[in-house]
Chains A and B, each alone.
Chain A
Amino acid sequence: MVATASSREAYGKALVELGREFPNIVVLGGDLNKSTFTTLFAQEHPERFFDFGPAEQNILGVAAGLAMSGKIPFVSTFVVFGTSRAYDQLRVSVAQPHLNVKLVLTHAGILTGEDGMSAQGIEDLALMCALPGFTVVVPADAAETVHAVRAAAETQGPFYVRLSRPATPLVHGDTGCSFRIGKAEVLRDGRDATIVACGSMVATALEAAQTLQSEGVGCRVINMHTLAPLDEEAVVRAAEETGALVTAEEHYVHGGLGSLVAQTLALHHPTPLEMVALHGYAESGKPELLLEKYGLTAPYVAQAARRVLRRKG
């Protein structure tokens, strides 16, 4: 049984710590603060916590005003509300003036489960990567979330961190994680193919690599925690050294990790690529059943690797 932990809970706890360290951090919520665990910050630093109710457009505008006045606003709500609902505000009020706003959103992708497609953010990576200047990070587990949130506080400029609803497997063992913005992490080496994954799919990729190993196929697994700026060098190196790539993400197939890797390969080192991703909106259901139905489990990733190996020539 793989150990799991809640990234959003890790975020809530980390934010309390950062709040002590950074007096300029303020936290803005939209009536989902129990779910995002920002209530922990609110308890510790009530004077620096502001709830605006479900009014995300206003929240992002307020965050811009706070950032322009030297504060470090962390905005937390669900992925769907914090990205698509307030996209024009992210664009004009935050990204265009390149303000120091931190967006840490939870309930990403189909792991959100029973709430169904309206609550399942599957377009957010495309949206956020389309905003020039935004750093976009998808932590692979709770440990990496803590590092990512600290990096967000320490880095000047707009920053997005994408978190899941349920507890997810811990992919970083006793060695800990060496998170650096824009620097991909090789979790496992191999010479036959590379699986590039982000978020909850990193653990799935490792599982698939294990299966492939038993078939004599050596798979490199890259945790591409930062989508913007993308570690293009790691992608190109994987293309050169393994000659076949698979991307795995819990996001729509257009505009997310797969698209970014495909763009990098097309521009710098054309290489066979298969993408494991969603191909449309999903539905209500238990997360594990949704992953199975929509093709996001380890056997599907392994199958994609076998496909790409056949194309490798």
Chain B
Amino acid sequence: MPEEHFSPMASVSGGQASAAPVADVWPTLGVPFLLRNPRDLGPLARHLRRQVLLTIAAANSGHPGGSLSAVEIMTALYFCLMRHDPRNPHWPDRDRFVLSKGHCTPILYSVLAECGYFPREELATFRRINSRLQGHAHIMAPGVDASTGSLGQGLSFGVGAALAGRLERKNYRVYVLLGDGECDEGQVWEAAMSAAHYRLDNLIAIVDRNRIQNDRFTDEVMELEPLADKWRAFRWNTLEVDGHNIEQVLGALKAAPQEKGRPTVIIAHTVKGKGVSFMENNPDFHGRAPTPTELERALKELEGVG
């Protein structure tokens, strides 16, 4: 894909808090929403990172860190793997996606817009009054299957959707993206136990292991390790990948359904704020919008990467 498709933002910098429609400055990518070759996903992932930042900047509110850490995971799911149809969001045979870490809507909405669930320009309404794009995920947005936002609830929803699929003899799969800090919630482990008990091999959880939660590093707030062993002890097929290596992420996602009789969890080791030097590994960017200067710097950095 030609590089110029990805750099229409010059006019945006500094204007993120304005209420003016940004249709004229919103990036256009024009990719088909299904890409079979993971090698094509690099530029797309970079585009999505910019879109995440612009979306948050337009709202002057939102969660950049955990959105940026999940870019490759979301890209692999929506552009390579999941069976879904943006023209028919309620297609009964679609694969389901649950954003259990419901605050990371900037990456979810960016991906959904890019797929064509709603116009890209609508991203500029994120968190604003009368928008379908709520701060935390809600089913009023086309393509959003589960309302979330209170941590720990998405995996249970996934168990229900997976049970329904089995009852209906459908072969759709259910993907649930969890935060690592979210694993502090007891309900995650209630759900994990029940998914193994009901042998839900159509359920795949992905933990975005970016090692930072709201206040601080996860190790400081609540020790999670040995995290993989915990999932293994709950009788899940447990895989670990570099969550920014799309081929590794895809490989694990594709391997998951081969595992019969038990659910799979992929612990994706990631960097919070990935792609923007001053956001990387910085707890400050869990839940705040960049300033105009920071946005400009971030967009510039993202232009330079290949």
Contact = CB atoms under 8 A, between A and B. Distances in A.
Interface of A: 26, 47-48, 50, 52-53, 55, 57-71, 73, 88-89, 91-93, 96-97
A92 B186 contact: no
Contacts of A47: 167
A211 B96 CA distance: 60
Contact of B161 (A50, A57, A60, A66): A66
A73 to B, nearest CB: 7
B31 interface: no
A50 B155 CA distance: 16
Contact of A58 (B150, B161, B187): B187
A52 B190 CA distance: 9
Given A55-B190, A61-B187, A69-B161, 11 more contacts: A26-B167, A48-B167, A53-B194, A57-B152, A67-B160, A68-B160, A71-B160, A71-B167, A93-B146, A93-B156, A97-B147
B143 to A, nearest CB: 13
Nearest to B156: A61
A58 B146 contact: no
A62 B156 contact: yes
A89 B156 contact: yes
B187 A64 contact: no
9 contacts: A50-B163, A55-B194, A60-B156, A61-B156, A65-B98, A67-B160, A71-B160, A92-B150, A92-B153
Contacts, number: 109
A93 B147 contact: yes
A52 B163 CA distance: 13
Contacts of B139: 68, 97
Interface of B: 92, 96, 98, 138-139, 145-150, 152-165, 167-168, 174, 186-187, 190-191, 193-194, 198
B156 A66 contact: no
A88 B150 contact: yes
A65 B174 CA distance: 10
Contacts of A26: 163, 167
Given A69-B168, A92-B149, A93-B156, A61 B161 contact: no
Contacts of B186: 57
Contacts of A62: 156-157, 159-160, 163, 191, 194
Nearest to A88: B150
B146 A96 contact: no
B167 A68 contact: no
Contacts of A69: 96, 160-161, 164-165, 168
A73 B194 contact: no
A44 to B, nearest CB: 16
Contact of A89 (B174, B187, B193): B187
Interface of A is mostly: helix
Contacts of B138: 96-97
Q: 8 closest pairs, A vs B, by CB? A: A65-B160, A61-B156, A69-B164, A58-B190, A62-B160, A55-B190, A65-B157, A97-B147
A65 B149 CA distance: 15
Nearest to B140: A97
Nearest to A98: B139
B52 to A, nearest CB: 23
A66 B164 CA distance: 6
Contacts of B161: 65-66, 68-69
Given A48-B167, A68-B146, A93 B153 contact: yes
B262 to A, nearest CB: 17
A70 B145 contact: no
Nearest to A101: B160
A93 B160 CA distance: 12
A87 to B, nearest CB: 10
A191 B155 CA distance: 56
B1 to A, nearest CB: 35
B45 to A, nearest CB: 29
B92 A70 contact: yes
A73 B167 contact: no
Nearest to B147: A97
Contacts of B148: 92-93
Contacts of A63: 160
B160 A64 contact: yes
Contact of B194 (A52, A89, A93): A52
A70 B190 contact: no
Contacts of A60: 156
Contacts of A58: 156, 159, 187, 190-191, 194
Contact of B156 (A53, A64, A97): A64
Nearest to B148: A92
A50 B150 contact: no
B184 to A, nearest CB: 14
A63 B174 CA distance: 15
Contacts of A65: 98, 146, 156-164, 174
Nearest to B152: A57
A71 B164 contact: yes
B147 to A, nearest CB: 4
B87 to A, nearest CB: 20
A66 B193 contact: no
Nearest to B166: A47
Contacts of A96: 138, 147
Contacts of B165: 69
Contacts of B174: 65
Contacts of A50: 163, 198
B153 A66 contact: no
Given A69-B164, A69-B165, A61 B159 contact: yes
Nearest to A59: B156
